[in-house]
Amino acid sequence: MGAATEAPMSAADAAKAAYELRKAKAIERANRPHITDQPITMKNWWRHLNLLNIYLIVIIPILGLWAAWYTPLHKYTLIWAVLYYFNTGMGITAGYHRLWAHTSYSATWPLKLYLALVGGGAVEGSIRWWSRDHRAHHRYTDTDKDPYSVRKGLLYSHIGWMVMKQNPKRIGRTDISDLNEDAIVVWQHKYYLWVVAFMGLVFPSAVAGLLWNDWKGGFVYAGILRIFFVQQATFCVNSLAHWLGEQPFDDRNSPRDHVITALVTLGEGYHNFHHEFPSDYRNAIEWHQYDPTKWCIWTWKQLGLAYDLKEFRSNEIEKGRVQQLQKKIDRKRATLDWGVPLENLPVMEFEEFQAECEKGRALTLIAGVVHDVTDFIKDHPGGKAMIKSGIGKDATAIFNGGVYLHSNAAHNLLSNFRVAVVRGGCEVEIWKQSAKENKDAVPAVD
Amino acid sequence: MGAATEAPMSAADAAKAAYELRKAKAIERANRPHITDQPITMKNWWRHLNLLNIYLIVIIPILGLWAAWYTPLHKYTLIWAVLYYFNTGMGITAGYHRLWAHTSYSATWPLKLYLALVGGGAVEGSIRWWSRDHRAHHRYTDTDKDPYSVRKGLLYSHIGWMVMKQNPKRIGRTDISDLNEDAIVVWQHKYYLWVVAFMGLVFPSAVAGLLWNDWKGGFVYAGILRIFFVQQATFCVNSLAHWLGEQPFDDRNSPRDHVITALVTLGEGYHNFHHEFPSDYRNAIEWHQYDPTKWCIWTWKQLGLAYDLKEFRSNEIEKGRVQQLQKKIDRKRATLDWGVPLENLPVMEFEEFQAECEKGRALTLIAGVVHDVTDFIKDHPGGKAMIKSGIGKDATAIFNGGVYLHSNAAHNLLSNFRVAVVRGGCEVEIWKQSAKENKDAVPAVD
Ligand code: HEM
Ligand code: HEM
Ligand SMILES: [Fe+2]
Ligand SMILES: [Fe+2]
Ligand SMILES: [Fe+2]
Ligand SMILES: [Fe+2]
């Protein structure tokens, strides 16, 4: 501090200079255009590929398939591979997704450790990395900041976003301070490659190798191919679940509910519900829907391993359902023909209405509106005589129960026949009658 | 005419006297209390029974079952019985019901004759009698004038109304002038017993007898038991179709849609639709629904036997569906908790709101409404930090996309936390800012 010096650098100054240099380089790096900012050309396309990911999710499975050709499938190994498939899948769905990304329940440390381990065995990145992206996916669904936006194509949301390099600055930022405070998350992130190697390949091979001496089968089937199936299944949450099915809660964004997606993804298929109620530990709310992840979490609760299972009140869920249904109905209603709106109809005098009928037009007055039923008489389900009895008259009462209480459909049909509104409407006849009965009665004037 | 005479009666006078006598007797008969006006007692219960009907729909089938025990079932006779079952059933559904009762299409005389004959073979009364009752059923559905009102019990609507005597005066009156003008209807009514005897029993026995010499089997299986099955199946339209299923078009009355009823009744199971659109020749409107009666009518049209098939426009049908759905939603909406209505909230000054927050209450102002989120902070799916940033402030913009565009579910949830309305609402801060920027600005006063 104080005056500037020309004297040889002190240790502190040297450190400061080194820091400035690192900072300048970091800034320069940050400002350098990212490869994704450049269009894909014949010359640079390979620089757009994320080779590590291609290796992990494409090359290795192909090698695995090739190896499977030469590897007999032991019955126990098959059972073990399926069993381990469910465990590692559960690591992603119950662990990565519902526990860490959404904190939809709390877990004791033994359960957390188990989930961090088997989740690592699914080879889909560390909890920390996965949850950060997933939170961005929820916060910025379908926008450019969504790491796996289905708006960029089904294939992109399934696998493209990993196969192609991504500009990290594009992905939306999210708060993961809670994860940084979680010792197991931090540990798993730090030793991630060890976890993957051990839980992804060593452990599944060793079980088959040590217990029934099928090291190679364990490696190929319970290791490599099982990883491939778990990956593809969970990737479906990003692709299929944003593409196939119903939208009972909100249709502004892409998430959808479908039983097929649920079957493939251990219950993550009720994805429209999930995006609407992300901190609910359930994805399926009906007992008969397939959500084994929910069933596991519920069982862990009974065993004292999980607690604080969060649920949205059914009142909130039903509100959403009612609103979305209302939206659908309103849209449907707008596509239908409801007859000429009343305010667009010409006004007719009652005498005019009667005169028209005398000229032979089949007009009938119902609820103040003149209807032309000339073409309908022959089709009237109640017979020609009945409908003819209403012509030239105010048939409001007849139509509404006086003779027959017409169905809702009949009322709808009637609106198609509207041709005019009568001045004074159905009251006209009453005035005339009262004028006859009482000479002093003053007819209403409008 | 002229003066009264004591002279011996002329022929004309004798006829007149006889007429007067008949008239007096008829009036006396009409005024005599009907058996149904008397309560059922231990002594008179048998007088309440309609013995002819009991004989036709209960005793004969039992005798038939007993006879079947002693009658071997020939393969051809079985096929013939099933085939004839469909023909006589079609006589009721396509003939009695859709053609004559509802005139939902027109038929050439050969088709009419066929339908009048096979319909007679179902032994359910003449076209004239059946259609009159059925029109009353539509016109007075579920009321006392409905001949087979399900409101009197499922069993009553199925068979009770035939087993018990009915007061003819109770049944609603309907216009059947069109049927009285139809030569085939009049003929069938006049020779009804002959038609029943021939088409119900003689013809089915003769086919089996003459072609493969199984007179007895033809009589028992294609005659008696087939009649029993056709009767029970078509009776289901009056019972099951008013009791089981959905009500997509109107739920004020009892008719319901169900695939089971459709399967039993040759397609008459979409009965909610049918009561709403009785003159539509279809009962099922979707191609994948089971309505063989419709398929037959359509085929007859292709063959030139039927014409003028009536259909309600899909616009009319969809209008009904939308309205019924709207009714359901409105009912559902009324059962849900939508938070304290805005007009019931107390009014707060903006300063009061801030003061409360300083005292430690977690209040946030969104769209002019103060929300108490104290208990929700720990559950906020976007993290504690985020929601805390909105406390003591007008968070309208933050909540609506400034930081995160909250879902519809979040908006619904928010309404549960309402505690007050702020005077001036979200504009208050803007005024303060503008007052700082421009000393002359006049804050709005309300
Ligand atoms: C003015 C326009 C009219 C329209 C658009 C109309 C429409 C209909 C429709 C669609 C039905 C079938 C059943 C239903 O959906 O409720 C029906 C049945 C009936 N209508 Fe009308 N109607 C009109 C006028 C009248 C009048 C003026 C009368 C009586 C004076 C009348 C008497 C009946 C009766 C008695 C039935 C019952 C027929 C049955 O189910 O057997 N209608 N009408
Ligand atoms: C004041 C009452 C608030 C309520 C009732 C509320 C409710 C919710 C709910 C239910 C979600 C789950 C996702 C969704 O349904 O949209 C959510 C997510 C979120 N909220 Fe809030 N919120 C509130 C305030 C805030 C505030 C003030 C902020 C920011 C300053 C905020 C930021 C977020 C973010 C960023 C998410 C996304 C979390 C994710 O999907 O990973 N919220 N909020
Ligand atoms: Fe999603
Ligand atoms: Fe999620
Ligand atoms: Fe009915
Ligand atoms: Fe009918």
CB contact under 8 A, B386 and A249: no
Considering chain B, what percentage of its residues have pLDDT values greater than 70? Answer: 93
pTM for the model stands at: 0.81
Residue B6 has pLDDT above 70, yes or no: no
B223 and B63 Cβ atoms separated by less than 8 Å: no
Using alpha carbons only, what angle is made at residue B442 by residues B439 and B446, rounded to the nearest 5 degrees?
150
How much is the mean pLDDT over chain A? 90
Give residue B445's pLDDT band: very low, low, confident or very high (50, 70, 90). very low
Distances from the Cα of A169 to the Cαs of A30, A44, B311, B332, in angstroms? 9, 21, 60, 46
Lowest-confidence pick of A154-168, A282-296, B93-107: A154-168
| Predicted local confidence at residue B294, as pLDDT | 97
Of B177, B250, B278, the CB nearest to A385: B177
What ligand has the least distance to the C-alpha of B372? Answer: 2
Residue A1 has pLDDT above 50, yes or no: no
Residue B32 has pLDDT above 80, yes or no: no
Most confident of A342-351, B44-53, B250-259: B250-259
Work out the minimum CA distance from B74 to partner chain A, whole angstroms.
46
| Predicted local confidence at residue A2, as pLDDT | 45
In angstroms, how far apart are the furthest CA atoms of chain B? Answer: 123
Q: State both tokens at A362.
A: 């089949």
Of A250, A318, A385, the CB nearest to B407: A250
* Minimal-distance CA residue of chain A relative to B253: A407
The finding on whether A370 has its CB within 6 A of some atom of ligand 1 is no
Sheet holding A369-372, edge to edge: A347-348, A418-422, A369-372, A363-366
Give residue B2's pLDDT band: very low, low, confident or very high (50, 70, 90). very low
Report how far residue A281's alpha carbon sits from residue A274's, in angstroms, rounded to the nearest whole number: 9
Residue A235 has pLDDT above 90, yes or no: yes
Among A102, A313, A316, most B C-beta atoms within 10 A, so best to mutate, is: A316
CB contact under 8 A, A329 and B326: yes
Report how far residue A417's alpha carbon sits from residue A407's, in angstroms, rounded to the nearest whole number: 16
Percentages of chain A per state (helix, strand, coil), in multiples of 5: 60, 5, 35
Report how far residue B57's alpha carbon sits from residue B52's, in angstroms, rounded to the nearest whole number: 9
What ligand has the least distance to the C-alpha of B174? Answer: 1
Q: Please enumerate residues of A whose Cβ is less than 8 A from a Cβ of B.
A: 102-103, 139, 175, 177-178, 249-250, 252, 275-279, 310, 312, 315-316, 318-320, 322-326, 329, 332-333, 336-338, 379, 381-383, 385-386, 404, 407-409, 412-413, 416
The more confidently predicted of residues B429 and A12 is A12
CA of B416 to the centre of ligand 4 (A): 24
* Minimal-distance CA residue of chain A relative to B333: A322
User: Which residues on adjacent β-strands are paired with residue A350?
Assistant: none
CB contact under 8 A, B276 and A249: no
* Pairing, β B106-107 against β B369-372: unpaired
Give residue A6's pLDDT band: very low, low, confident or very high (50, 70, 90). low
CA atoms within 13 Å, Cβ hemisphere of A183: 4
Helix (H) / strand (E) element for B60: namely helix B60-69
DSSP classification of residue B372: E
| Predicted local confidence at residue A46, as pLDDT | 77
The more confidently predicted of residues B129 and A433 is B129
The more confidently predicted of residues B69 and A28 is B69
CA dihedral A114, A117, A120, A122 (to 10 degrees): -60
B258 and B241 Cβ atoms separated by less than 8 Å: yes
Other beta carbons less than 10 A from residue B52's beta carbon: 9
Rounded average pLDDT over A150-171: 89
Q: Which of A298, A297, A291 is nearest to A274 (CA)?
A: A291
Give residue A275's pLDDT band: very low, low, confident or very high (50, 70, 90). very high
| Predicted local confidence at residue A213, as pLDDT | 95
CA of B115 to the centre of ligand 3 (A): 59
How many angstroms from the chain centroid is the CA of residue A96? 19
Contacts of B336 in chain A (CB under 8 A): 315, 318-319, 322
How much is the mean pLDDT over chain B? 90
| Alpha-carbon dihedral sign for residues B253, B257, B260, B262 | positive
CB contact under 8 A, A175 and B383: yes
State which of B404, B407, B411, B413 you would mutate to test the pocket of ligand 2, scoring each by most atoms of that ligand within 8 A of its C-beta: B404
CB contact under 8 A, B175 and A310: no
Q: Where are the alpha helices (DSSP H) in A359-427?
A: 384-388, 396-399, 408-415
Q: Tens digits of per-residue pLDDT, B296-342?
A: 999 999 999 999 999 999 999 999 999 999 999 999 999 999 999 88
Residue B408 has pLDDT above 80, yes or no: yes
CB contact under 8 A, B175 and A386: yes
Helix (H, G, I), strand (E, B) or coil at A240: helix
Residue B274 has pLDDT above 70, yes or no: yes
Of A279, A318, A329, the CB nearest to B325: A329
Contacts of A416 in chain B (CB under 8 A): 316
CB contact under 8 A, B322 and A315: no
What ligand has the least distance to the C-alpha of A241? Answer: 3
Helix (H, G, I), strand (E, B) or coil at B283: coil
DSSP classification of residue A245: S
The finding on whether B260 has its CB within 6 A of some atom of ligand 2 is no
Lowest-confidence pick of A30-44, A134-148, A186-200, B352-366: A30-44
CB contact under 8 A, B312 and A409: yes
| Predicted local confidence at residue A26, as pLDDT | 86
| Predicted local confidence at residue A445, as pLDDT | 47
Q: Tens digits of per-residue pLDDT, A175-233?
A: 899 999 999 999 999 999 999 999 999 999 999 999 999 999 999 999 999 999 999 99
* Minimal-distance CA residue of chain A relative to B385: A175
> What is the ipTM metric for this complex?
0.79
The more confidently predicted of residues A104 and A12 is A104
Report how far residue B292's alpha carbon sits from residue B282's, in angstroms, rounded to the nearest whole number: 10
Distances from the Cα of A113 to the Cαs of A80, A195, A302, A406, in angstroms? 21, 11, 18, 68
Residue A390 alpha carbon, nearest atom of ligand 1: 27
DSSP classification of residue A394: B
Q: Which of A126, A123, A172, A127 is nearest to A147 (CA)?
A: A172
Determine phi and psi for B239, rounding to 5 degrees.
-105, -75
CB contact under 8 A, A312 and B250: no
Q: Tens digits of per-residue pLDDT, A97-153?
A: 999 999 999 999 999 999 999 999 999 999 999 999 999 999 999 999 999 999 999
The finding on whether A418 has its CB within 6 A of some atom of ligand 1 is no
Give residue A286's pLDDT band: very low, low, confident or very high (50, 70, 90). very high
Report how far residue A196's alpha carbon sits from residue A201's, in angstroms, rounded to the nearest whole number: 8
Residue B134 alpha carbon, nearest atom of ligand 1: 41
| Predicted local confidence at residue A381, as pLDDT | 87
The finding on whether B386 has its CB within 6 A of some atom of ligand 2 is yes
Report how far residue A221's alpha carbon sits from residue B140's, in angstroms, rounded to the nearest whole number: 70
| Predicted local confidence at residue B183, as pLDDT | 96
CA of B281 to the centre of ligand 6 (A): 10
| Predicted local confidence at residue B438, as pLDDT | 58
Task: Kindly report the protein residue whose alpha carbon is nearest to atom 7 of ligand 1.
Answer: A410
CB contact under 8 A, B277 and A409: yes
Work out the minimum CA distance from A114 to partner chain B, whole angstroms.
24
Considering chain A, what percentage of its residues have pLDDT values greater than 70? Answer: 93
Exposed, middle or buried: residue B186 (CB in 10 Å: 0-12, 13-18, 19+)? middle
CB contact under 8 A, B276 and A409: yes
| Alpha-carbon dihedral sign for residues A370, A376, A377, A382 | negative
* Minimal-distance CA residue of chain B relative to A174: B382
| Predicted local confidence at residue B82, as pLDDT | 97
Rounded average pLDDT over B234-262: 94
| Predicted local confidence at residue A115, as pLDDT | 98
The finding on whether A443 has its CB within 6 A of some atom of ligand 1 is no
The finding on whether A310 has its CB within 6 A of some atom of ligand 2 is no
Report how far residue B117's alpha carbon sits from residue B94's, in angstroms, rounded to the nearest whole number: 12
The finding on whether B362 has its CB within 6 A of some atom of ligand 2 is no
CB contact under 8 A, B329 and A333: no
| Predicted local confidence at residue B169, as pLDDT | 84
Residue A376 alpha carbon, nearest atom of ligand 1: 5
Among A280, A322, A335, most B C-beta atoms within 10 A, so best to mutate, is: A322
* Minimal-distance CA residue of chain B relative to A381: B279
Other beta carbons less than 10 A from residue B428's beta carbon: 21
Residue B131 has pLDDT above 50, yes or no: yes
Q: Which of B73, B60, B70, B102 is nearest to B231 (CA)?
A: B60
Q: Tens digits of per-residue pLDDT, A386-402?
A: 999 999 999 999 999 88
Work out the minimum CA distance from B181 to partner chain A, whole angstroms.
13
Q: Tens digits of per-residue pLDDT, A413-430?
A: 999 999 999 886 555 555
